[in-house]
A = this chain, B = another copy of it.
């Protein structure tokens, strides 16, 4: 299999596991439909792929890495539902489909988000309760910190508060380090912790911080020059919303260079984590993606 085939294969098994996990009995039908709708809306599954790839590369158990990666994807999905709400980014489309609240209404969208966050902890705590292992609890603790008020949620608050004013490059870095970076970092470190390869933590952390920033810069570039059809959302929204981005602060060319620098740094670290080359290819793919 070439890289694209391997990537699609991983995405497929992650999607299958997510759909299996979300089959919860006795959930009100509307709530279940709303949770499923956003989970099935696709996305690249970058976070669980990172957890899975790093855990496997370091000798960890695949099933465990899959479940923790899926929990991170559940949390990522809830954060998108809440971010899209009228009170926040007020987006009608995400990945080419109507956003959750446009289909199910705001009340159900808020509750479906709450339920996805809750379920991430719920099913992993049940797993840990049935088979208590120290790395499970360490990994859960890392995820909960990354998704919390000093991580992802904190970043979203900074993003909202930056909406109406110009911020500088340091503030932009800090916002993204929290808003998207914290969960990407957790995805990688959890793979390392599940494999109990604490000797690799620092390399994995540095790798994740570099791809986190590269990922965000590429997002900003795509919002500026991307293809609306491929992105599944309108472009030029950042500029219209008068948002500070890597492109508005640095210009397009310097933003491209910076994404490349962080990617090259990440690639040199990826080679120390995964000898199969998959993580290296994945890192390159994240820089060169079109959506």
Contact = CB atoms under 8 A, between A and B. Distances in A.
B122 A148 contact: yes
Interface residues of A, number: 50
Contact of A125 (B27, B88, B141, B157): B141
A149 B105 contact: no
A110 interface: yes
Contacts of A26: 150, 154
B30 A119 contact: no
Contacts of A88: 107, 110
Contact of A149 (B24, B147, B149): B24
B87 A110 contact: yes
B24 A118 contact: no
Residue from the set A26, A122, A149, A153 with the largest chain B CB neighbour count within 10 Å: A149
B149 A119 contact: yes
B118 A157 contact: no
A114 interface: yes
B108 A157 contact: yes
Nearest to A116: B149
A275 to B, nearest CB: 30
Contacts of A108: 157, 160
A235 interface: no
A276 interface: no
A32 interface: yes
A154 to B, nearest CB: 5
Contacts of A154: 26-28, 31
B153 A31 contact: yes
Interface stretch (A129-137, A201-209, A219-227): A129-137
A246 to B, nearest CB: 21
Contact of A30 (B82, B141, B147, B161): B161
A114 B113 CA distance: 9
A134 B35 CA distance: 31
Given A122-B148, A128-B137, A141-B126, A153 B115 contact: yes
Contacts of A107: 85, 87-88, 160
A256 to B, nearest CB: 30
A231 interface: no
B129 A132 contact: no
12 contacts: A28-B157, A31-B154, A35-B149, A85-B107, A113-B114, A115-B153, A118-B147, A126-B145, A129-B138, A129-B140, A129-B141, A132-B137
Interface of A: 24-28, 30-32, 35, 82, 85, 87-88, 105-108, 110-111, 113-115, 117-119, 121-122, 125-126, 128-129, 132, 134, 137-138, 140-141, 144-145, 147-150, 153-154, 156-158, 160-161
